[in-house]
A and B are shown apart, each in its own frame.
Chain A
């Protein structure tokens, strides 16, 4: 157990729908990062939050949004889902800049 908790583990939904993925960072970590991993692809950075504020943005689609709450958990909202959004979505957390990130075990999203 890495200490980063992601729910749900699996999600199957239809095109056009909206889903919310949840992440609880390791205790004490202020930064949360979201990554997307498509089949046979590397990890694509989506967005970072630090202590409730958006800190950095990657290749995140406008249909996707995220937030980090006062208790530091984060949610990634994916709307108007398309087949191509099917992927593993990982959340990671870190305490300070310059240190490695700790990843959760991911949410596998399947859009049918």
Chain B
């Protein structure tokens, strides 16, 4: 089945730093989505990308849909403490035995001690 490789698995941030994470797939997707999950809560949609090459911003977040349709990245600029959480990429296709939305395993953002 389709798999998404998300990296890094975890990272530590200091307030004010920029953060980058990415997601790659062995197959193409029609849509890429980025979600954030806080402890004990469900994932919340941050950004949705619908076209190859598309670059979309949502405040300090910027995401891109790769030209090959097999990858996407998410950047967070000037991080703040509330950015801490788990970020998931997700690829959306129509049909298939794994359902429509396939998730990466997440990137856990923590604050540097």
Whether A and B are associated in the same complex: the answer reads: yes
Instruction: Please tell me if A100 contacts chain B, counting CB pairs below 8 Å.
Output: yes
B104 touches A48 (CB 8 A): no
0/1 string, B21-37, CB within 8 A of A gives 1: 00000000011010100
Tell me the complex Cα distance, A106–B96, Å.
25
Nearest residue in B to A42 (C-beta to C-beta)?
A: B105
Instruction: Please tell me if A58 contacts chain B, counting CB pairs below 8 Å.
Output: yes
Interface pairs A-B: 6 shortest CB-CB: A103-B42, A45-B99, A42-B105, A100-B45, A43-B103, A56-B99
B42 touches A56 (CB 8 A): no
Q: Give chain B's interface residue range (CB within 8 Å of chain A).
A: 20 to 34
**Majority secondary structure of chain B interface residues (helix, strand, loop or mixed):** loop
0/1 string, B96-109, CB within 8 A of A gives 1: 11111111111000
> What are 10 A-B interface contacts by the 8 Å CB criterion?
A4-B42, A45-B98, A45-B102, A56-B96, A56-B99, A56-B100, A98-B31, A101-B101, A102-B45, A106-B40
Given A90-B43, A98-B30, 20 new contacts (CB under 8 A): A2-B44, A33-B99, A41-B105, A42-B104, A42-B106, A43-B103, A45-B103, A48-B100, A56-B95, A56-B100, A58-B98, A58-B99, A59-B98, A98-B50, A98-B94, A103-B42, A105-B40, A105-B41, A106-B40, A106-B42
Contacts of B88 in A (CB 8 A): 42-43
Tell me the complex Cα distance, A97–B104, Å.
19
Residues in B1-56 with C-beta less than 8 Å from chain A: 30-31, 33, 35, 40-45, 48, 50
Tell me the complex Cα distance, A63–B102, Å.
23
CB proximity of B106 to chain A, nearest CB, Å: 6
Nearest residue in A to B92 (C-beta to C-beta)?
A: A98
Contacts of B104 in A (CB 8 A): 42
Tell me the complex Cα distance, A103–B88, Å.
13
